[in-house]
């Protein structure tokens, strides 16, 4: 069985083809980073226009890479939310047109469900597990007691972790996307040189808040001259990154004490950060898994796999489903 995945929830146009054995036959991604970098972040209108230009080419390249034709495809899976509405519409309408023209089943996929399942594409998972999604748009803990059952137990109440890294980078002159550069700088710095407060959310022990750290950074920057900032930028990055990740790891410890799990599945773009992965491994006593190469950031292979599993449990969708910028993660029954 050949499954196509299409992902256009934000600024990357992605298409993938997998089979029911989790073999990734093609995974094509066209990044828009260079188009958005000069604005310091993603511009929704630019993102949707670039998706329109690229989606047909990306899908055709996926077919060519896998040596298949559209008539060989058995299922079309596409991200329906959450995300930027204009971007989502491009992918969903393209997928619907394919489904109608080819008379091929279609399945709309929740973007977070794709991330939750991305480590399972390359590794064996056991239940119950705790999913931890850390990306530019999401930072949340999802308990998965068995296949298809999801319970969100903690999330950020303001900025996502990746978003916080980008805003911090902008404040000290690091270009967008800042996360990978901050990680490189942090490796050369002293992570205890600067002290940043550990945020807390009153009466919500499993939730996180990152916005206060931005204010703390501004207070530090006000005390540093340009020369001092240049000399201390490595340690500033290391200290800020550690504060962010320490907030996540301490929250993980509290959650796992109440939600016993066999493992933690780390996913999302920031899961590629080795410091975060190492801090999690050191702070909890169960295995931590992260996605295989190329599966951490937004990609279409995870959408194809999540869509296939849900299709096997629920069947295909009708063509009248809509995109949604915010979308609840729904459970489903697996026999």
What pLDDT does 33 receive?
A: 72
What pLDDT does 35 receive?
A: 67
Concatenated DSSP letters of 197-218: -----TT-TT-B--HHHHHHHH
What pLDDT does 246 receive?
A: 96
pTM metric for this prediction: 0.94
What is the spatial distance between Cα 177 and Cα 162, in angstroms, rounded to a whole number? 9
Concatenated DSSP letters of 267-306: ESGGGG-HHHHHHHHHH-SS-EE---TT-SSS-SHHHHHH
Residues in the chain: 335
Concatenated DSSP letters of 43-62: -HHHHHHHHHHHHHHHHHHH
Output the CA torsion sign for 161, 9, 308, 59.
negative
What is the spatial distance between Cα 106 and Cα 86, in angstroms, rounded to a whole number? 20
User: What residue ranges of the chain have pLDDT lower than 50?
Assistant: none
Which CATH superfamily, name and number, covers 127-289?
Answer: ATPase, nucleotide binding domain (3.30.420.40)
CATH number for 2-116+295-314: choose from 3.50.50.60, 3.40.50.150, 3.30.1550.10, 3.30.420.40: 3.30.420.40
CATH 3.30.420.40 residue ranges for the chain: 2-116+295-314, 127-289
10 Å CB burial of residue 18 (0-12, 13-18, 19+) is buried
Element (H, E) at 97: helix 85-102
What pLDDT does 38 receive?
A: 72
Cβ contact 27:14 at 8 Å: yes
Output the CA torsion sign for 144, 145, 148, 150.
negative
What is the spatial distance between Cα 10 and Cα 268, in angstroms, rounded to a whole number? 13
What pLDDT does 197 receive?
A: 85
What pLDDT does 327 receive?
A: 94
What is the spatial distance between Cα 243 and Cα 248, in angstroms, rounded to a whole number? 9
């Amino acid at each position: 069985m050949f499954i196509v995945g299409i992902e256009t929830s934000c600024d990357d146009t992605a298409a993938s083809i997998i089979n029911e054995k989790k073999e990734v036959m093609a995974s094509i991604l066209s990044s828009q980073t260079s188009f958005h970098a000069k604005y310091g972040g993603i511009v929704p209108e630019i993102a949707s226009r670039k998706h329109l230009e690229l989606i047909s080419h990306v899908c055709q390249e996926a077919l060519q890479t896998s040596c298949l034709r559209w008539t060989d495809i058995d299922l079309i899976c596409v991200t329906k939310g959450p995300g930027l509405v204009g971007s989502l519409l491009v992918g969903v309408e393209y997928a619907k047109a394919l489904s109608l023209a080819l008379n091929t089943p279609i399945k709309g996929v929740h973007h977070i469900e794709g991330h939750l399942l991305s480590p399972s594409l390359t590794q064996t998972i056991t239940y119950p597990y705790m999913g931890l999604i850390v990306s530019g748009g999401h930072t949340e803990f999802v308990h998965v007691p068995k296949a298809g059952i999801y319970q969100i137990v903690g999330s950020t109440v303001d900025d996502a972790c990746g978003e916080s890294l980008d805003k911090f980078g902008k404040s000290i002159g690091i270009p967008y996307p800042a996360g990978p550069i901050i990680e490189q700088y942090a490796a050369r710095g002293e992570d205890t040189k600067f002290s940043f407060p550990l945020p807390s959310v009153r009466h919500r022990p499993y939730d996180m808040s990152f916005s206060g750290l931005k204010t703390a950074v501004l207070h530090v920057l006000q005390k540093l001259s340009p020369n001092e900032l240049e000399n201390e930028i490595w340690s500033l990055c290391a200290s800020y990154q550690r504060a962010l990740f320490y907030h996540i790891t301490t929250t993980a410890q509290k959650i796992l004490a109440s939600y016993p799990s066999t493992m933690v599945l780390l996913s999302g773009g920031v899961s590629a950060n080795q410091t975060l992965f190492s801090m999690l491994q050191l702070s909890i006593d169960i295995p931590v898994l992260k996605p295989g190469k190329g599966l951490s950031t937004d990609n279409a292979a995870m959408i194809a796999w999540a869509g296939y599993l849900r299709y096997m449990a629920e069947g295909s969708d009708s063509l009248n489903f809509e995109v949604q910028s915010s979308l609840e993660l729904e459970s489903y029954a697996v026999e």
